[in-house]
Amino acid sequence: MTRLSGGLIDRSRTLSFTFNGRSYPGHPGDTLVSALLANDVRLVGRSFKYHRPRGVFSAGSEEPNALVTLGSGARAEPNTRATVAELFDGLEARSQNHAGPLGFDLLAVNDLLSPFLAAGFYYKTFMWPKAFWEKLYEPAIRRAAGLGSLSMQPDPDAYDKGFLHCDLLVIGAGPSGLSAALTAARAGAKVILADEDFRLGGRLLAESHTVDDAPATDWIAGVEAELASLPNLRLMRRTTVWGAFDHGIYGAVERVADHLPDPGAGVRQTLWRITARRVVLAAGATERHIPFANNDRPGILLAGAMRAYANRWAACPAQRVAIFTNNDDGHRTALDLLGKGVQVAAVVDTRPDATALGPYRTYPAAQVTNTWGRRGLTAIRVAHEGGSDWVTCDALGVSGGWNPNVHLASHQRGRPVWDAAAQAFLPGACPPGMIVAGAAAGQGSTHAALHSGAKAAQTALADLGIVANLPDLPRAEDTPLNLRPLWHVPGKRRAWVDFQNDVTVNDIALAHRENMRPVEHLKRWTTLGMATDQGKTANVTAIAVMADLTGQSIAATGTTIYRPPYTPVSLAVLGGGDTGAQFRPRRLTPTHPWAQAQGAVFVEVGPWMRAQYFPRPGETHWRQSVDREVLATRAGVGLCDVTTLGKVDVQGADAGVFLDRLYCNPMASLKVGMVRYGLMLREDGHVFDDGTCARLGAEHYVVTTTTAQAGPVFRQMEFARQCLWPDLDVHLISTTDAWAQISVAGPQARALLGRVVDGFDLSNAAFPFMACANLTVCGGLRARLFRISFSGELAYELAVPARYGAALMARLVDLGADLGATPYGTEALGVLRIEKGHAAGNELNGQTTAQMLGLGRMVSAKKDAIGTVMSRREGLVSDTRILVGLLPVDAAGPVVAGSHLFAEGAVQQTDTDQGWVTSACYSPHVGSSIGLGFLADGAARMGEVIVAANPLQRQNVRLRVVSPHFIDPDGGRLRD
């Protein structure tokens, strides 16, 4: 056991967890890694490309190596950083990316093949034969290289989202974040303090030094208690702010239940969208390493991480450790470990003037040049002024200085700026409203962090006119790093820069030789800085190594772009948790409950659920139901809920003028009490939408749209009203949902309606085709009646307030029993309109014109309207394709929508294409399949036989060109 004394773990309770099936103990407060280290488990994974044994490298979210699969079954989550996985009782973890057991990975053969797997190898090696890439090379590479695997099962957990607004968002609850939050919250500002950790304190938790002569945790506890008492501060633990977006919006993920064995009925994670007026970024810093030969063995980790494990988690990877450093911070680790009873074999310091700060052996002006140990470190080679020694040790802490976490400061393409004095990239141009504080701003001593945090909050709030006083901050250490830069130990052997992507100094040198010198090229050529850690422990080192090779300064070498997310975010939480039936809102028609009770089959029509058909007992195929509904409508009367069609109430003194400019045909001339079919064009002259326009009063119209275009048409109307012609007195509001509208169609329609209207004269003389009126039905219920027909039959649409829709439908069915009243769904609706040759969405697909629909003369020459001028351009006018009807020559033959039309015997290719089939159905009226389509010179080709080609199904069907009106071409039924 390598469990040390002290630490911030609760030893009164023991938790049990498993790693690769073996059970281990741990304590509340542990992470998966700290518990593994306390159980002497150092080997936790295999590397991405070479399958080299890997151990833990860091103590935070920057971890490149310790990626594990957490959980099992559907809850198995691959590529989780074990360093930030909070331990709970029953936690299950497995290592990934190995064939066979972790200790004996068959794919480790890749390590022997490493000369062939250098940077960009897959661009160079697998070029030939070309066909092998997709089938052989890529799958093989993907199998060998990689991370964990998905469970391939649906995610059983619930995810949530939410919106927060604040004066000040403080990102990070280390010393600078805590002092910023305290300063702002005391001033009464609305503050959010978010930290990815489950415990407040940040780096203070990892250090042994005191704050106001007491343990830092005392000060943290005091601040925490005060923050908890301030209602204007929201404290968000386990919350990672992962992206800085426009307008002060920040993305944050709160891990609500990841630390629980089972979230139960609760949510697992919540995605917060935080709108912050000002932000203090107190994200701290990440330690950097110094590449040297074979620096990737388990047991070699960041010195600051080693210190964090010892101080916070009372764990250490080994009993005998060494330190490799270029600054005083490495010595702190040696001192803290000594204080915990760990043996310090040596501190290897690159600085010539280095001296020991405690009772341990120090090698000044020395470097680690190699290491030994197959599945874990056993010795390091130390080159020093007097020669070269092997030093026996089981763990090595490496300290190359600290990189400020500038990521969020750079998310809006701000480039960090190299600071030679600090030997670090500091935040450059930040997103508007952001101030960076503490170690993230290069103010890394506890004293500097506390003060810069408070000052940043004060400055940010002053911007908002909020006066904040600086708090009395505690005394804290303020010691310099005394760093002397060393970016890598020269040598021929492989020295890893990016552990997660297996990128070495040699790979960077190769990229340099191959002229991949700009850092963006270097990144793509070597994959450096990619994947889950996004190079948090590698990027700056790689830039410095490239600078060495090119002879340029680090500042001139530049950086890659920082993009969200800061740490990996699950797609499930980004999706907001809505799946299945709740994936998007559903709109239900007013008669939906009634149709459900009738056993209707429903179909999705955009956001709507509509009754598709109403099966009756004995009907075993949908066609039987649909044919019956069609025939019943043509013989008696059919009833269909058509509420989904868009309805827009248009009022105002200029309503007629307005509609004249929207519709290509005139509407101002429409008489009160009448309805007119209307076409709207797009600016480019193609048809936008069709529908009816009813005039209920001198200054009152009701426009109907197709179901699909209800939204776009309303948007277009509002655009025209607000932007094109703001001088017109026009008032628009949607009434689609306000009215339930039922189509009553068929020769018995008038007879049926006569049974519900309250003394309204339905006679042809009083209420002719295309009439409309306000009236009452069923004993005083206000209603609207329109005599319009989509089916080609004598037909009406009756509208009543939506809450009465279901009752009205039931009443009509009931009262019409003797008239053959039959409810019909969207399938029959489609058949009826195809038989009549009415255009619908299939014909109005955005590529067609009024002329193609045979409605060219509707485009008024007496007035201008949107699209009128462009509809007359040569390219559209010269198009001879026009809507025709299509009948199979063999009556049993199919008509398939989407088939393309060719002259008989013609070669079937693009330049001989003569049109396409837009709509098709089986017509019980005709007794065969029928279709509508656009055909070149169609008007002149009645009776001609053409071929409908459907190459996807190897179909060639002979069709006869006929009128698109399969029933009642003269329209007598409508006007009857």
Binding residues among 643-672 for other proteins as defined by CB under 8 A: 643, 649, 651-653
Give one DSSP letter per residue of 374-414, joined into a string: SSS--EEEEEETTEEEEEE-SEEEEE--EEE--TGGGTTSP
Q: How far is CA 600 from CA 158, 589, 811, in A?
A: 32, 13, 17
Supply the minimum distance, in Å, between the C-beta of residue 643 and other proteins.
8
Establish if 802 lies at the interface with other proteins (CB under 8 A).
yes
Q: Pick the closer one to other proteins by CB: 780 or 943.
A: 780
Q: Pick the closer one to other proteins by CB: 230 or 781.
A: 781
SS3 (DSSP) at 965: coil
Decide: 113 and 107 in contact? Cβ < 8 Å. Answer: no
Supply the minimum distance, in Å, between the C-beta of residue 430 and other proteins.
23
Pairing status of strand 92-95 against strand 15-19: parallel
Nearest to 788 by CA among 595, 592, 971, 606: 971
Residue 924, preceding peptide bond in cis (omega within 30° of 0)? no
Per the rule left: phi > 0, alpha: psi between -120 and 50, beta: everything else, 111 is alpha
Establish if 589 lies at the interface with other proteins (CB under 8 A).
yes
Supply the minimum distance, in Å, between the C-beta of residue 802 and other proteins.
4
Supply the minimum distance, in Å, between the C-beta of residue 165 and other proteins.
4
Binding residues among 177-196 for other proteins as defined by CB under 8 A: 190
- Whole-number Å distance between alpha carbons of 946 and 914: 10
- Whole-number Å distance between alpha carbons of 124 and 510: 13
Establish if 724 lies at the interface with other proteins (CB under 8 A).
no
Q: Pick the closer one to other proteins by CB: 643 or 789.
A: 643
- Whole-number Å distance between alpha carbons of 539 and 522: 11
Q: Pick the closer one to other proteins by CB: 657 or 897.
A: 657
Contact code string over 275-294 relative to other proteins, x by CB under 8 A: x-------------------
User: Which of 50, 790, 804, 916 touches other proteins (CB under 8 A)?
Assistant: 804
Q: Pick the closer one to other proteins by CB: 230 or 903.
A: 230
Amino acid 717 reads M
Supply the minimum distance, in Å, between the C-beta of residue 801 and other proteins.
4
- Whole-number Å distance between alpha carbons of 827 and 622: 9
Options 16-24, 457-465, 619-627, 723-731: segment touching other proteins (CB under 8 A): 723-731
User: Which of 75, 94, 161, 259 touches other proteins (CB under 8 A)?
Assistant: 161
User: Which of 259, 682, 811, 863 touches other proteins (CB under 8 A)?
Assistant: 811
Supply the minimum distance, in Å, between the C-beta of residue 237 and other proteins.
12
Supply the minimum distance, in Å, between the C-beta of residue 697 and other proteins.
11
Q: Calculate ∠ Cα 502-503-506, nearest 5°.
A: 130
SS3 (DSSP) at 739: strand
- Whole-number Å distance between alpha carbons of 854 and 866: 19
Give one DSSP letter per residue of 486-501, joined into a string: ------SS-BEEETTT
Contact code string over 603-642 relative to other proteins, x by CB under 8 A: ----xx----------------------------------
Supply the minimum distance, in Å, between the C-beta of residue 825 and other proteins.
17
Establish if 731 lies at the interface with other proteins (CB under 8 A).
yes
Pairing status of strand 402-404 against strand 285-287: antiparallel
Binding residues among 29-88 for other proteins as defined by CB under 8 A: none
Establish if 715 lies at the interface with other proteins (CB under 8 A).
no
Nearest to 642 by CA among 399, 828, 844: 828
Rg (CA), the chain: 38
- Whole-number Å distance between alpha carbons of 905 and 895: 19
Amino acid 501 reads N
User: Which of 165, 513, 671, 873 touches other proteins (CB under 8 A)?
Assistant: 165
Burial 422-433 (b: 16+ CB within 10 A, else e): bbbbbbeebbeb
User: Which of 109, 228, 597, 889 touches other proteins (CB under 8 A)?
Assistant: 597
Contact code string over 830-869 relative to other proteins, x by CB under 8 A: ----------------------------------------
User: Which of 209, 587, 872, 965 touches other proteins (CB under 8 A)?
Assistant: 587
- Which H or E run contains 604? strand 601-605
Half-sphere exposure of 388 (CA within 13 A, CB side): 9
Q: Pick the closer one to other proteins by CB: 190 or 340.
A: 190
Q: Pick the closer one to other proteins by CB: 778 or 926.
A: 778
Supply the minimum distance, in Å, between the C-beta of residue 407 and other proteins.
25
DSSP letter, residue 795: E
SS3 (DSSP) at 852: coil
Establish if 465 lies at the interface with other proteins (CB under 8 A).
no
User: Which of 777, 853, 882, 949 touches other proteins (CB under 8 A)?
Assistant: 777
Options 46-54, 83-91, 566-574, 807-815: segment touching other proteins (CB under 8 A): 807-815
Number of residues that bind other proteins (CB under 8 A): 63
Decide: 446 and 452 in contact? Cβ < 8 Å. Answer: no
Options 265-273, 323-331, 487-495, 528-536: segment touching other proteins (CB under 8 A): 265-273
Tokens at 316, concatenated: 């250490």
Interacting residue ranges for other proteins, rule: CB under 8 A: 158, 160-165, 190, 256, 264-267, 273, 275, 578, 582, 584-590, 593-594, 596-597, 607-608, 643, 649, 651-653, 727-729, 731, 733-740, 776-782, 800-804, 806-808, 811
